[in-house]
Amino acid sequence: MIDLKYFQWSDFACPCCGANHTQIESAKRIDEARGFAGVPFIVNSAYRCRIHNQEVGSKSSVHPGGYAFDIKANNSRSRYRILEGMRKAGFTRIGIAGTFIHCDDDPTKASDVMWTY
């Protein structure tokens, strides 16, 4: 197991089965992002088993690869801080929704991209 400052390894587990195949370097990066942001990160979703990923209706998600995190962002100030922390930590794939920010560092996907939901 790895030592993280702001998260427990269980924070990244699949909610339906408890499996956790989060990539260690990705977990370290989100922990670092939390430190840069200076605001709490509440994990809405991280690792998802393939069954859970299908249940949430995602077809192209990188969550089953263990590279992705959806962090709750409930107001404009925290959204800004979370986004800044993710960028400073080196995430180059970011999706912004009304209630969360997605980041991932899947090496098989295009980098330097940002999208909205």
Q: Could you report the per-residue pLDDT of 67-76, keeping only the tens digit for each?
A: 999 999 999 9
Identify the pLDDT of residue 60.
Answer: 76
For tokens 């299908």, what's the residue?
A: 54
81 closest CA partner among 32, 34, 116: 34
Residue 87 has pLDDT above 90, yes or no: yes
pLDDT at 66: 97
Q: How far is CA 58 from CA 14, 31, 50, 52, in A?
A: 14, 25, 10, 9
CATH architecture assigned to 10-116: 2-Layer Sandwich (3.30)
Q: Compute the average pLDDT of residues 15-23.
A: 96
- Whole-number Cα distances in Å, 106 to 22, 23, 35: 11, 10, 21
Question: For the chain, what are the domain ranges?
Answer: 10-116
- Distance between CA 33 and CA 92 in Å, rounded? 12
